[in-house]
Chain A
Protein backbone atom coordinates (compact mmCIF):
# COMPACT_ATOMS: atom_id res chain seq x y z
CA UNK A 1 0.00 0.00 0.00
CA UNK A 2 2.74 2.39 0.97
CA UNK A 3 4.55 1.61 -2.22
CA UNK A 4 1.40 2.29 -4.28
CA UNK A 5 0.95 5.67 -2.58
CA UNK A 6 4.58 6.55 -3.14
CA UNK A 7 4.37 5.60 -6.81
CA UNK A 8 1.16 7.64 -7.18
CA UNK A 9 2.83 10.65 -5.64
CA UNK A 10 5.95 10.44 -7.80
CA UNK A 11 3.76 9.93 -10.88
CA UNK A 12 1.77 13.05 -10.03
CA UNK A 13 4.94 15.04 -9.57
CA UNK A 14 6.38 13.81 -12.82
CA UNK A 15 3.21 14.50 -14.80
CA UNK A 16 2.27 17.77 -13.14
CA UNK A 17 1.38 19.54 -16.37
CA UNK A 18 -0.71 16.67 -17.72
CA UNK A 19 -2.48 16.20 -14.40
CA UNK A 20 -3.31 19.88 -14.40
CA UNK A 21 -4.61 19.69 -17.98
CA UNK A 22 -6.78 16.69 -17.14
CA UNK A 23 -8.11 18.51 -14.09
CA UNK A 24 -9.09 21.56 -16.12
CA UNK A 25 -10.72 19.53 -18.89
CA UNK A 26 -12.64 17.59 -16.29
CA UNK A 27 -13.63 20.80 -14.56
CA UNK A 28 -15.11 22.28 -17.73
CA UNK A 29 -16.77 19.12 -18.98
CA UNK A 30 -18.21 18.15 -15.62
CA UNK A 31 -19.45 21.71 -15.04
CA UNK A 32 -21.28 21.63 -18.34
CA UNK A 33 -22.63 18.21 -17.47
CA UNK A 34 -23.79 19.61 -14.11
CA UNK A 35 -25.36 22.56 -15.91
CA UNK A 36 -27.32 20.23 -18.15
CA UNK A 37 -28.59 18.44 -15.03
CA UNK A 38 -29.59 21.80 -13.52
CA UNK A 39 -31.40 22.89 -16.68
CA UNK A 40 -33.26 19.58 -16.79
CA UNK A 41 -34.29 20.04 -13.18
CA UNK A 42 -35.37 23.62 -13.89
CA UNK A 43 -37.53 22.60 -16.84
CA UNK A 44 -39.07 19.79 -14.81
CA UNK A 45 -39.85 22.22 -12.00
CA UNK A 46 -41.50 24.69 -14.34
CA UNK A 47 -43.41 21.94 -16.11
CA UNK A 48 -44.66 20.62 -12.80
CA UNK A 49 -45.80 24.02 -11.61
CA UNK A 50 -47.48 25.08 -14.85
CA UNK A 51 -49.03 21.80 -15.80
CA UNK A 52 -50.47 21.51 -12.30
CA UNK A 53 -52.30 24.75 -12.76
CA UNK A 54 -53.49 24.00 -16.22
CA UNK A 55 -57.16 23.52 -16.67
CA UNK A 56 -59.20 23.13 -19.80
CA UNK A 57 -61.83 25.80 -20.39
CA UNK A 58 -64.90 24.70 -22.34
CA UNK A 59 -66.70 27.89 -23.45
CA UNK A 60 -70.42 27.74 -24.15
CA UNK A 61 -72.43 29.56 -26.78
CA UNK A 62 -73.99 32.96 -26.28
CA UNK A 63 -76.53 34.83 -28.35
CA UNK A 64 -73.76 36.89 -29.95
CA UNK A 65 -70.94 34.43 -30.08
CA UNK A 66 -71.94 32.72 -33.27
CA UNK A 67 -73.52 35.77 -34.81
CA UNK A 68 -72.70 35.26 -38.45
CA UNK A 69 -71.83 31.58 -38.27
CA UNK A 70 -68.16 32.57 -38.79
CA UNK A 71 -64.97 30.86 -37.87
CA UNK A 72 -65.60 31.16 -34.14
CA UNK A 73 -68.99 29.53 -34.40
CA UNK A 74 -67.93 26.15 -32.99
CA UNK A 75 -70.95 23.95 -32.41
CA UNK A 76 -73.30 26.88 -31.79
CA UNK A 77 -76.67 27.46 -33.45
CA UNK A 78 -76.57 31.01 -34.82
CA UNK A 79 -78.09 33.47 -32.37
CA UNK A 80 -78.83 30.79 -29.81
CA UNK A 81 -77.43 30.29 -26.32
CA UNK A 82 -76.47 26.80 -25.19
CA UNK A 83 -79.63 25.14 -23.99
CA UNK A 84 -80.00 23.59 -20.53
CA UNK A 85 -80.19 20.13 -22.05
CA UNK A 86 -76.94 20.68 -23.92
CA UNK A 87 -75.35 22.03 -20.77
CA UNK A 88 -76.32 18.91 -18.84
CA UNK A 89 -75.04 16.64 -21.58
CA UNK A 90 -71.70 18.46 -21.67
CA UNK A 91 -71.26 18.21 -17.92
CA UNK A 92 -72.24 14.55 -17.94
CA UNK A 93 -69.82 13.69 -20.74
CA UNK A 94 -66.93 15.59 -19.12
CA UNK A 95 -67.50 13.88 -15.78
CA UNK A 96 -67.67 10.48 -17.46
CA UNK A 97 -64.21 10.89 -19.02
CA UNK A 98 -61.67 8.85 -17.01
CA UNK A 99 -58.96 11.47 -17.44
CA UNK A 100 -61.00 14.17 -15.73
CA UNK A 101 -60.39 14.91 -12.05
CA UNK A 102 -63.19 17.43 -11.53
CA UNK A 103 -65.42 19.87 -13.38
CA UNK A 104 -66.87 23.10 -12.17
CA UNK A 105 -69.14 25.59 -13.80
CA UNK A 106 -68.32 29.27 -14.15
CA UNK A 107 -71.22 31.58 -14.97
CA UNK A 108 -71.01 34.74 -17.00
CA UNK A 109 -71.34 36.76 -13.79
CA UNK A 110 -68.49 34.90 -12.10
CA UNK A 111 -66.33 35.31 -15.16
CA UNK A 112 -67.04 39.02 -15.18
CA UNK A 113 -66.14 39.34 -11.48
CA UNK A 114 -62.89 37.47 -12.07
CA UNK A 115 -62.16 39.72 -15.04
CA UNK A 116 -62.76 42.85 -12.98
CA UNK A 117 -60.64 41.52 -10.16
CA UNK A 118 -57.73 40.71 -12.45
CA UNK A 119 -57.76 44.07 -14.23
CA UNK A 120 -58.90 46.18 -11.25
CA UNK A 121 -56.11 48.72 -11.67
CA UNK A 122 -56.03 48.66 -15.40
CA UNK A 123 -57.81 50.70 -18.09
CA UNK A 124 -58.86 47.36 -19.55
CA UNK A 125 -61.39 46.99 -16.77
CA UNK A 126 -64.13 48.68 -18.81
CA UNK A 127 -63.37 47.19 -22.19
CA UNK A 128 -65.61 44.16 -21.82
CA UNK A 129 -69.17 44.17 -20.59
CA UNK A 130 -70.91 41.44 -18.69
CA UNK A 131 -72.79 40.36 -21.80
CA UNK A 132 -69.62 39.66 -23.65
CA UNK A 133 -68.60 37.09 -21.03
CA UNK A 134 -69.29 33.42 -21.57
CA UNK A 135 -70.48 30.61 -19.38
CA UNK A 136 -67.85 27.88 -19.22
CA UNK A 137 -66.92 24.55 -17.72
CA UNK A 138 -63.49 24.47 -16.08
CA UNK A 139 -61.97 21.00 -16.22
CA UNK A 140 -59.11 19.74 -14.04
CA UNK A 141 -57.27 16.69 -15.27
CA UNK A 142 -55.85 13.79 -13.31
CA UNK A 143 -52.66 13.90 -15.38
CA UNK A 144 -52.13 17.28 -17.03
CA UNK A 145 -50.01 15.65 -19.76
CA UNK A 146 -53.01 13.65 -21.04
CA UNK A 147 -55.16 16.47 -22.28
CA UNK A 148 -55.67 15.69 -25.93
CA UNK A 149 -58.52 13.18 -25.51
CA UNK A 150 -60.58 15.49 -23.33
CA UNK A 151 -60.06 18.51 -25.58
CA UNK A 152 -60.98 16.53 -28.69
CA UNK A 153 -64.11 15.14 -27.12
CA UNK A 154 -65.30 18.49 -25.76
CA UNK A 155 -64.90 20.10 -29.16
CA UNK A 156 -67.46 17.74 -30.69
CA UNK A 157 -70.22 18.41 -28.18
CA UNK A 158 -73.19 20.55 -29.28
CA UNK A 159 -73.44 23.87 -27.50
CA UNK A 160 -69.65 24.22 -27.13
CA UNK A 161 -68.31 27.33 -28.74
CA UNK A 162 -64.62 26.86 -28.10
CA UNK A 163 -62.19 24.76 -26.03
CA UNK A 164 -59.04 26.35 -24.72
CA UNK A 165 -56.08 24.86 -22.98
CA UNK A 166 -52.70 26.30 -22.11
CA UNK A 167 -50.85 23.40 -23.69
CA UNK A 168 -51.14 25.16 -26.99
CA UNK A 169 -49.06 27.93 -25.50
CA UNK A 170 -46.73 25.87 -23.36
CA UNK A 171 -45.87 22.99 -25.67
CA UNK A 172 -43.76 25.04 -28.11
CA UNK A 173 -42.00 26.63 -25.15
CA UNK A 174 -41.12 23.27 -23.69
CA UNK A 175 -40.00 21.91 -27.01
CA UNK A 176 -37.53 24.79 -27.22
CA UNK A 177 -36.36 24.10 -23.67
CA UNK A 178 -36.02 20.41 -24.46
CA UNK A 179 -33.88 21.22 -27.46
CA UNK A 180 -31.70 23.35 -25.17
CA UNK A 181 -31.35 20.49 -22.72
CA UNK A 182 -30.29 18.11 -25.45
CA UNK A 183 -27.88 20.67 -26.81
CA UNK A 184 -26.26 21.01 -23.40
CA UNK A 185 -26.13 17.23 -22.99
CA UNK A 186 -24.53 16.83 -26.39
CA UNK A 187 -21.87 19.41 -25.59
CA UNK A 188 -21.23 17.82 -22.21
CA UNK A 189 -20.91 14.38 -23.82
CA UNK A 190 -18.46 15.78 -26.36
CA UNK A 191 -16.31 17.36 -23.67
CA UNK A 192 -16.46 14.25 -21.53
CA UNK A 193 -15.26 12.25 -24.52
CA UNK A 194 -12.39 14.71 -24.91
CA UNK A 195 -11.56 14.35 -21.23
CA UNK A 196 -11.60 10.56 -21.50
CA UNK A 197 -9.28 10.62 -24.50
CA UNK A 198 -6.96 12.96 -22.69
CA UNK A 199 -6.85 10.69 -19.67
CA UNK A 200 -6.07 7.71 -21.89
CA UNK A 201 -3.25 9.71 -23.42
CA UNK A 202 -1.90 10.75 -20.04
CA UNK A 203 -1.74 7.12 -18.96
CA UNK A 204 0.15 6.27 -22.12
CA UNK A 205 2.66 9.03 -21.44
CA UNK A 206 2.95 8.15 -17.82
CA UNK A 207 3.49 4.48 -18.69
CA UNK A 208 6.18 5.54 -21.10
CA UNK A 209 8.10 7.62 -18.56
CA UNK A 210 7.92 4.70 -16.15
CA UNK A 211 8.73 1.96 -18.64
CA UNK A 212 11.84 0.81 -16.78
CA UNK A 213 10.01 0.33 -13.51
CA UNK A 214 7.09 -1.30 -15.28
CA UNK A 215 9.42 -3.68 -17.09
CA UNK A 216 11.05 -4.74 -13.85
CA UNK A 217 7.69 -5.06 -12.11
CA UNK A 218 6.49 -7.41 -14.83
CA UNK A 219 9.74 -9.34 -14.70
CA UNK A 220 9.66 -10.02 -10.98
CA UNK A 221 5.95 -10.83 -11.05
CA UNK A 222 4.12 -7.82 -9.68
CA UNK A 223 0.38 -8.43 -10.09
CA UNK A 224 -1.49 -6.39 -12.67
CA UNK A 225 -3.58 -4.80 -9.92
CA UNK A 226 -0.38 -3.69 -8.29
CA UNK A 227 0.96 -2.28 -11.54
CA UNK A 228 -2.29 -0.53 -12.47
CA UNK A 229 -3.17 0.88 -9.06
CA UNK A 230 -0.81 3.92 -9.09
CA UNK A 231 -2.20 4.92 -12.49
CA UNK A 232 -5.81 4.62 -11.32
CA UNK A 233 -4.97 6.62 -8.20
CA UNK A 234 -3.29 9.27 -10.30
CA UNK A 235 -6.36 9.71 -12.48
CA UNK A 236 -8.55 9.67 -9.39
CA UNK A 237 -6.60 12.54 -7.87
CA UNK A 238 -7.02 14.57 -11.07
CA UNK A 239 -10.70 13.61 -11.18
CA UNK A 240 -11.20 14.61 -7.57
CA UNK A 241 -9.81 18.05 -8.35
CA UNK A 242 -12.09 18.32 -11.38
CA UNK A 243 -15.12 17.15 -9.41
CA UNK A 244 -14.42 19.60 -6.60
CA UNK A 245 -13.99 22.54 -8.96
CA UNK A 246 -17.14 21.77 -10.94
CA UNK A 247 -19.13 21.19 -7.74
CA UNK A 248 -18.10 24.67 -6.63
CA UNK A 249 -19.01 26.04 -10.06
CA UNK A 250 -22.48 24.49 -9.87
CA UNK A 251 -22.99 25.83 -6.36
CA UNK A 252 -21.88 29.28 -7.40
CA UNK A 253 -24.27 29.14 -10.37
CA UNK A 254 -27.23 28.16 -8.20
CA UNK A 255 -26.38 30.74 -5.55
CA UNK A 256 -25.55 33.78 -7.68
CA UNK A 257 -27.72 33.21 -10.73
CA UNK A 258 -30.80 31.49 -9.37
CA UNK A 259 -31.15 32.16 -5.66
CA UNK A 260 -29.81 35.72 -5.61
CA UNK A 261 -31.19 36.94 -8.94
CA UNK A 262 -33.78 34.84 -10.73
CA UNK A 263 -35.78 33.95 -7.65
CA UNK A 264 -35.85 37.57 -6.57
CA UNK A 265 -36.63 39.26 -9.86
CA UNK A 266 -38.83 36.71 -11.65
CA UNK A 267 -41.17 35.50 -8.96
CA UNK A 268 -43.80 34.28 -11.41
CA UNK A 269 -41.70 31.27 -12.33
CA UNK A 270 -40.89 28.26 -10.22
CA UNK A 271 -37.12 28.09 -9.68
CA UNK A 272 -34.83 25.29 -8.61
CA UNK A 273 -32.83 25.69 -5.40
CA UNK A 274 -30.13 23.90 -3.39
CA UNK A 275 -31.69 20.41 -3.68
CA UNK A 276 -31.21 20.57 -7.45
CA UNK A 277 -27.59 21.60 -6.89
CA UNK A 278 -27.01 18.54 -4.68
CA UNK A 279 -28.53 16.29 -7.35
CA UNK A 280 -26.26 17.84 -10.00
CA UNK A 281 -23.17 17.47 -7.78
CA UNK A 282 -24.00 13.83 -7.11
CA UNK A 283 -24.19 13.19 -10.84
CA UNK A 284 -20.94 15.09 -11.38
CA UNK A 285 -19.21 12.94 -8.77
CA UNK A 286 -20.48 9.71 -10.33
CA UNK A 287 -19.53 10.84 -13.84
CA UNK A 288 -16.14 12.15 -12.66
CA UNK A 289 -15.12 8.92 -10.95
CA UNK A 290 -16.29 6.84 -13.90
CA UNK A 291 -14.42 9.19 -16.19
CA UNK A 292 -11.22 8.63 -14.25
CA UNK A 293 -11.46 4.89 -13.74
CA UNK A 294 -12.88 3.59 -17.03
CA UNK A 295 -10.36 5.12 -19.49
CA UNK A 296 -7.51 4.30 -17.11
CA UNK A 297 -8.48 0.64 -16.91
CA UNK A 298 -9.02 0.48 -20.65
CA UNK A 299 -5.67 2.05 -21.50
CA UNK A 300 -3.87 0.10 -18.80
CA UNK A 301 -5.02 -3.10 -20.48
CA UNK A 302 -3.27 -1.80 -23.54
CA UNK A 303 -0.13 -0.23 -22.12
CA UNK A 304 0.38 -2.06 -18.84
CA UNK A 305 -0.44 -5.64 -19.80
CA UNK A 306 1.77 -8.26 -18.13
Chain B
Protein backbone atom coordinates (compact mmCIF):
# COMPACT_ATOMS: atom_id res chain seq x y z
CA UNK B 1 0.00 0.00 0.00
CA UNK B 2 2.85 2.38 0.90
CA UNK B 3 6.44 2.01 -0.23
CA UNK B 4 9.37 4.34 0.52
CA UNK B 5 12.51 3.63 -1.48
CA UNK B 6 15.59 5.40 -0.18
CA UNK B 7 13.58 8.54 0.52
CA UNK B 8 15.14 11.77 1.75
CA UNK B 9 13.40 15.04 2.43
CA UNK B 10 15.21 18.31 3.02
CA UNK B 11 13.39 21.52 3.85
CA UNK B 12 14.59 24.63 2.04
CA UNK B 13 17.26 26.47 3.99
CA UNK B 14 18.12 23.51 6.20
CA UNK B 15 21.19 21.35 5.97
CA UNK B 16 20.00 18.39 8.01
CA UNK B 17 17.40 16.33 6.17
CA UNK B 18 14.05 15.75 7.91
CA UNK B 19 14.10 12.23 6.49
CA UNK B 20 17.36 10.56 5.59
CA UNK B 21 17.37 7.62 3.13
CA UNK B 22 14.30 5.92 4.51
CA UNK B 23 13.14 2.66 2.95
CA UNK B 24 10.05 0.96 4.27
CA UNK B 25 7.02 -0.96 3.10
CA UNK B 26 3.57 -0.96 4.66
CA UNK B 27 0.97 -3.47 3.46
CA UNK B 28 -2.74 -3.07 3.01
CA UNK B 29 -4.63 -3.47 6.29
CA UNK B 30 -1.63 -2.98 8.53
CA UNK B 31 -1.72 -0.95 11.74
CA UNK B 32 1.57 0.87 12.25
CA UNK B 33 2.81 3.04 15.11
CA UNK B 34 5.26 5.72 14.15
CA UNK B 35 7.26 6.74 17.20
CA UNK B 36 10.15 9.06 17.88
CA UNK B 37 10.81 12.37 19.52
CA UNK B 38 9.65 15.70 18.11
CA UNK B 39 11.62 16.55 14.99
CA UNK B 40 12.44 12.91 14.27
CA UNK B 41 10.60 13.04 10.94
CA UNK B 42 7.18 11.56 11.78
CA UNK B 43 5.21 14.48 10.42
CA UNK B 44 7.37 14.69 7.29
CA UNK B 45 6.73 10.99 6.75
CA UNK B 46 2.98 11.64 6.78
CA UNK B 47 3.22 14.76 4.67
CA UNK B 48 5.02 12.76 2.01
CA UNK B 49 2.27 10.15 2.00
CA UNK B 50 -0.36 12.85 1.52
CA UNK B 51 1.81 14.41 -1.16
CA UNK B 52 1.80 17.70 0.72
CA UNK B 53 5.45 17.79 -0.13
CA UNK B 54 7.71 15.97 -2.52
CA UNK B 55 10.65 13.77 -1.62
CA UNK B 56 13.97 15.46 -2.30
CA UNK B 57 15.43 12.10 -3.28
CA UNK B 58 14.08 8.58 -3.58
CA UNK B 59 10.66 7.31 -4.62
CA UNK B 60 7.35 7.19 -2.75
CA UNK B 61 4.53 4.88 -3.86
CA UNK B 62 1.10 5.20 -2.29
CA UNK B 63 -1.90 3.09 -3.38
CA UNK B 64 -0.10 2.10 -6.54
CA UNK B 65 0.84 5.66 -7.52
CA UNK B 66 4.33 7.09 -7.77
CA UNK B 67 4.00 10.45 -6.04
CA UNK B 68 7.04 12.40 -7.20
CA UNK B 69 5.89 12.58 -10.80
CA UNK B 70 2.19 12.98 -9.99
CA UNK B 71 0.58 15.89 -11.80
CA UNK B 72 -0.73 18.73 -9.68
CA UNK B 73 -4.33 18.29 -10.85
CA UNK B 74 -4.34 14.61 -9.90
CA UNK B 75 -3.49 15.31 -6.26
CA UNK B 76 -7.05 16.06 -5.01
CA UNK B 77 -8.40 12.82 -6.49
CA UNK B 78 -5.47 10.96 -4.95
CA UNK B 79 -6.02 12.46 -1.49
CA UNK B 80 -9.55 11.12 -1.36
CA UNK B 81 -7.97 7.74 -0.63
CA UNK B 82 -6.38 9.08 2.54
CA UNK B 83 -8.09 10.19 5.72
CA UNK B 84 -6.29 12.29 8.33
CA UNK B 85 -6.83 12.88 12.03
CA UNK B 86 -4.89 15.44 14.05
CA UNK B 87 -4.05 16.00 17.67
CA UNK B 88 -6.01 19.28 17.66
CA UNK B 89 -9.06 17.78 15.89
CA UNK B 90 -9.37 20.67 13.36
CA UNK B 91 -13.15 20.75 13.29
CA UNK B 92 -15.05 23.70 11.87
CA UNK B 93 -16.37 25.84 14.73
CA UNK B 94 -20.00 26.80 14.54
CA UNK B 95 -20.87 23.73 12.49
CA UNK B 96 -22.58 20.77 14.14
CA UNK B 97 -21.00 17.32 14.30
CA UNK B 98 -23.32 16.27 11.50
CA UNK B 99 -22.27 19.23 9.34
CA UNK B 100 -18.58 18.71 10.06
CA UNK B 101 -18.77 15.13 8.84
CA UNK B 102 -20.97 16.01 5.86
CA UNK B 103 -18.54 18.79 4.86
CA UNK B 104 -15.92 16.24 3.81
CA UNK B 105 -18.45 14.62 1.48
CA UNK B 106 -19.86 17.88 0.14
CA UNK B 107 -16.52 19.30 -0.90
CA UNK B 108 -15.68 16.25 -2.98
CA UNK B 109 -19.03 16.54 -4.70
CA UNK B 110 -20.94 13.60 -3.22
CA UNK B 111 -24.71 13.67 -3.90
CA UNK B 112 -26.95 14.88 -1.09
CA UNK B 113 -28.82 11.58 -0.95
CA UNK B 114 -25.62 9.65 -0.31
CA UNK B 115 -24.56 12.18 2.34
CA UNK B 116 -27.88 11.80 4.17
CA UNK B 117 -27.46 8.04 4.22
CA UNK B 118 -23.77 7.90 5.16
CA UNK B 119 -23.38 10.54 7.87
CA UNK B 120 -25.73 8.88 10.41
CA UNK B 121 -23.91 5.59 9.81
CA UNK B 122 -20.63 7.27 10.67
CA UNK B 123 -22.08 8.97 13.74
CA UNK B 124 -23.28 5.62 14.99
CA UNK B 125 -19.96 3.95 14.25
CA UNK B 126 -17.99 6.49 16.29
CA UNK B 127 -20.56 6.28 19.08
CA UNK B 128 -21.94 9.82 18.98
CA UNK B 129 -25.59 9.01 18.39
CA UNK B 130 -27.65 11.79 19.96
CA UNK B 131 -24.84 14.34 19.77
CA UNK B 132 -25.00 14.99 16.03
CA UNK B 133 -26.40 18.50 16.45
CA UNK B 134 -23.76 19.70 18.89
CA UNK B 135 -21.08 22.10 17.78
CA UNK B 136 -17.42 21.28 18.62
CA UNK B 137 -17.46 23.94 21.36
CA UNK B 138 -20.14 21.95 23.16
CA UNK B 139 -18.26 18.65 23.10
CA UNK B 140 -15.45 17.07 25.12
CA UNK B 141 -12.06 16.42 23.54
CA UNK B 142 -12.81 12.75 23.10
CA UNK B 143 -16.11 13.50 21.42
CA UNK B 144 -14.47 16.02 19.13
CA UNK B 145 -11.84 13.49 18.14
CA UNK B 146 -14.60 11.00 17.33
CA UNK B 147 -16.18 13.56 15.02
CA UNK B 148 -12.78 14.12 13.41
CA UNK B 149 -12.33 10.38 12.90
CA UNK B 150 -15.80 10.08 11.37
CA UNK B 151 -14.92 12.93 9.00
CA UNK B 152 -11.63 11.25 8.08
CA UNK B 153 -13.23 7.95 7.13
CA UNK B 154 -16.55 9.15 5.71
CA UNK B 155 -15.20 8.99 2.15
CA UNK B 156 -13.98 5.42 2.80
CA UNK B 157 -10.25 6.00 2.43
CA UNK B 158 -7.77 3.17 1.99
CA UNK B 159 -5.33 4.77 4.39
CA UNK B 160 -5.94 6.57 7.67
CA UNK B 161 -3.16 8.81 8.97
CA UNK B 162 -3.45 9.73 12.65
CA UNK B 163 -1.03 12.37 13.92
CA UNK B 164 -0.95 11.97 17.72
CA UNK B 165 -4.74 11.53 17.95
CA UNK B 166 -4.64 10.87 21.69
CA UNK B 167 -2.13 13.61 22.48
CA UNK B 168 -4.76 15.94 23.96
CA UNK B 169 -6.85 13.29 25.72
CA UNK B 170 -6.82 11.68 29.14
CA UNK B 171 -5.83 7.96 29.27
CA UNK B 172 -9.36 6.60 29.57
CA UNK B 173 -10.63 8.66 26.63
CA UNK B 174 -7.50 7.68 24.70
CA UNK B 175 -8.34 4.02 25.11
CA UNK B 176 -11.75 4.65 23.58
CA UNK B 177 -10.21 6.40 20.59
CA UNK B 178 -7.71 3.54 20.14
CA UNK B 179 -10.54 1.01 20.16
CA UNK B 180 -12.24 3.00 17.46
CA UNK B 181 -9.14 3.16 15.28
CA UNK B 182 -8.56 -0.56 15.81
CA UNK B 183 -12.12 -1.27 14.83
CA UNK B 184 -11.80 0.80 11.62
CA UNK B 185 -8.57 -1.03 10.82
CA UNK B 186 -10.07 -4.49 11.31
CA UNK B 187 -13.53 -4.02 9.84
CA UNK B 188 -12.67 -2.31 6.58
CA UNK B 189 -8.99 -3.33 6.44
CA UNK B 190 -8.05 0.32 6.28
CA UNK B 191 -4.32 0.82 6.60
CA UNK B 192 -3.73 2.90 9.75
CA UNK B 193 -0.54 4.81 10.43
CA UNK B 194 -0.45 6.52 13.78
CA UNK B 195 2.26 8.84 15.01
CA UNK B 196 2.33 8.91 18.80
CA UNK B 197 4.23 9.64 21.99
CA UNK B 198 1.82 7.59 24.05
CA UNK B 199 3.77 4.60 25.41
CA UNK B 200 0.70 3.06 27.09
CA UNK B 201 -1.24 2.92 23.87
CA UNK B 202 1.64 1.35 21.93
CA UNK B 203 2.36 -1.21 24.62
CA UNK B 204 -1.28 -2.27 24.89
CA UNK B 205 -1.94 -2.62 21.19
CA UNK B 206 1.13 -4.66 20.27
CA UNK B 207 1.23 -3.71 16.62
CA UNK B 208 4.05 -2.94 14.23
CA UNK B 209 6.29 -0.14 15.52
CA UNK B 210 8.54 2.00 13.36
CA UNK B 211 10.88 4.23 15.33
CA UNK B 212 12.49 7.28 13.78
CA UNK B 213 15.55 9.06 15.15
CA UNK B 214 17.01 12.06 13.34
CA UNK B 215 15.16 11.21 10.16
CA UNK B 216 16.28 7.60 10.02
CA UNK B 217 14.48 4.37 10.86
CA UNK B 218 16.25 2.82 13.83
CA UNK B 219 13.69 0.10 14.58
CA UNK B 220 10.97 -1.65 12.62
CA UNK B 221 9.37 -4.30 14.77
CA UNK B 222 6.25 -6.40 14.32
CA UNK B 223 4.16 -6.53 17.54
CA UNK B 224 6.46 -3.96 19.07
CA UNK B 225 6.38 -1.92 22.25
CA UNK B 226 7.20 1.74 22.88
CA UNK B 227 10.49 1.18 24.68
CA UNK B 228 13.13 -0.60 22.62
CA UNK B 229 13.75 -3.48 25.07
Q: How far is the CB of B107 from chain A (nearest CB, A)?
A: 4
Verify B76–A216 contact, CB threshold 8 A: no
* Among A213, A215, A221, A226, contact of B78 (Cβ-Cβ < 8 Å): A221
Q: A3-B106, A212-B90 are in contact. Are A220 and B155 (CB under 8 A)?
A: yes
Q: Is A219 an interface residue (CB 8 A)?
A: yes
Interface members, chain A 203-248 (any B CB < 8 Å):
212-213, 215-224, 226-227
Verify A223–B76 contact, CB threshold 8 A: yes
Query: What A residues does B109 contact at CB under 8 A?
Result: 223, 226
Q: Is B108 an interface residue (CB 8 A)?
A: yes
Interface SS majority for chain A = helix
Query: What B residues does A2 contact at CB under 8 A?
Result: 112
For chain B, the bracket of interface size reads 20 to 34
Verify A306–B72 contact, CB threshold 8 A: yes
Query: What A residues does B155 contact at CB under 8 A?
Result: 220-221
- A-facing mask of B72-96, CB < 8 A → 1, else 0? 1101111111111000001011000
Query: What B residues does A218 contact at CB under 8 A?
Result: 76, 79
Q: Is B103 an interface residue (CB 8 A)?
A: yes
Bound: A238/B72 CA distance, A: 30
Q: How far is the CB of A196 from chain B (nearest CB, A)?
A: 25
Bound: A218/B108 CA distance, A: 10
* Among B73, B80, B81, B93, contact of A224 (Cβ-Cβ < 8 Å): B73
Q: A3-B106, A216-B103, A226-B107 are in contact. Are A221 and B90 (CB under 8 A)?
A: no
Q: How far is the CB of B44 from chain A (nearest CB, A)?
A: 16
Query: What A residues does B22 contact at CB under 8 A?
Result: none
Verify B90–A224 contact, CB threshold 8 A: no
Query: What B residues does A217 contact at CB under 8 A?
Result: 107
Question: Closest chain B residue to A3 by CB distance?
Answer: B106
Query: What B residues does A306 contact at CB under 8 A?
Result: 72, 75-76
Bound: A51/B60 CA distance, A: 73
Verify B92–A221 contact, CB threshold 8 A: no
Query: What A residues does B131 contact at CB under 8 A?
Result: none
Verify B73–A3 contact, CB threshold 8 A: no
Interface residue ranges, A against B (CB under 8 Å): 2-3, 212-213, 215-224, 226-227, 306
The 10 lowest CB-CB distance pairs between A and B, nearest first, are A221-B79, A221-B80, A222-B107, A220-B104, A221-B76, A223-B76, A3-B106, A217-B107, A306-B75, A219-B84
